[in-house]
Amino acid sequence: MVAVVTLYRSPTTNANAEAIASWLQDRVPAAVTVRDRFCSLYADDELADAFANARVLSPYERETGTDMLGIVRYERRALDAPERAGGVVYDGFAVQRALRRRLPPDERSLQHLHVPLLGRVIGTWGTHDGRWHKRVHVLGPLTPVSVPGLYEAPAKPESYYKAKQQRAMVAGDTPPREVLESEVDGDFLVEDDHRTADVLKGYVLQAYHYLTTGEAFCDDESCRLANPHRQSGVIDAQVRSPEFCAEHAATYEPSVTRD
């Protein structure tokens, strides 16, 4: 049973760790705490190398990582100034291992869940199609949650990709994401979306649920424990009511009798 959940703040202000922690504390019996950014607390001289080694080099190549001095220097700068990082995808499992190794030894038990809210995009390799896929999180005793992954991993409406293709054909290049997002109708999350913290609440609960029960996701697409692959599904699961399916509501709906 998970006794302690520790959230680590994100460099993104809309990913309000305190608001997420307060929501979670009302729904689980574990003690929920908030700390500063994970990398500001536990970064060492080798963490930049670990991020460089976790870099995805090509969407269609399984091998990751580089030891190029310029890339390692970039990663060192990104640790100090995370707002400058971007445009890179990292192997989520490699990031998970690298961060967990830097936890204090007495905090590595399965009773203590760590959830760093990261400003980096993480992904996992798809053995079924031989390519990398962006993810919001990678579940485990330390669950890295990618804030930009929230906007980039779930697929946007088909109209978004059609507009992107049409603009590329006419102009000869791909317009900035912000331009397309402003032109395409549909309900999907964008960078610095005011709903960011509300949506992340469900993903953090998924980490707790997985470590407590071994169950990864709920099959009911309207439940906060679901793992939809499209932005419309994320909105349905994480923003709209009810929060949970009947089965998980019995466990996670706040009770007036809960201490």
Q: Give residue limits of the domains in the chain.
A: 4-154+189-252
Pairing outcome for strands 145-146 and 131-135: unpaired
DSSP 8-class letter at 174? P
Nearest Cα neighbor of 250 from 221, 218, 211 is 218
Question: What is the model's pLDDT at position 259?
Answer: 46
Homologous superfamily of the 4-154+189-252 domain (CATH): Collagenase (Catalytic Domain) (3.40.390.10)
Mean pLDDT of 170-176: 63
Q: pLDDT tier at 87 (50, 70, 90 boundaries)?
A: confident
DSSP assignments along 209-253, one per residue? HHHHHS----S-TTSTT---SBHHHHHHHHTSSPSS-HHHHHHHS
CA distance 21 to 111: 17
Q: Indicate if the pLDDT at residue 69 is higher than 90.
A: yes
pLDDT digits (tens, 9 = 90+) for 2-21: 999 999 999 877 899 999 99
DSSP 8-class letter at 193? -
Evaluate whether 7 touches 35 at the Cβ level (below 8 Å): yes
Residue of higher predicted confidence among 112 and 254: 112
Three-class SS state of 38:
helix
Q: Indicate if the pLDDT at residue 180 is higher than 60.
A: no
% of the chain at pLDDT higher than 90: 76
Beta bridge partners of 112: 4
What average pLDDT is seen over the chain? 90
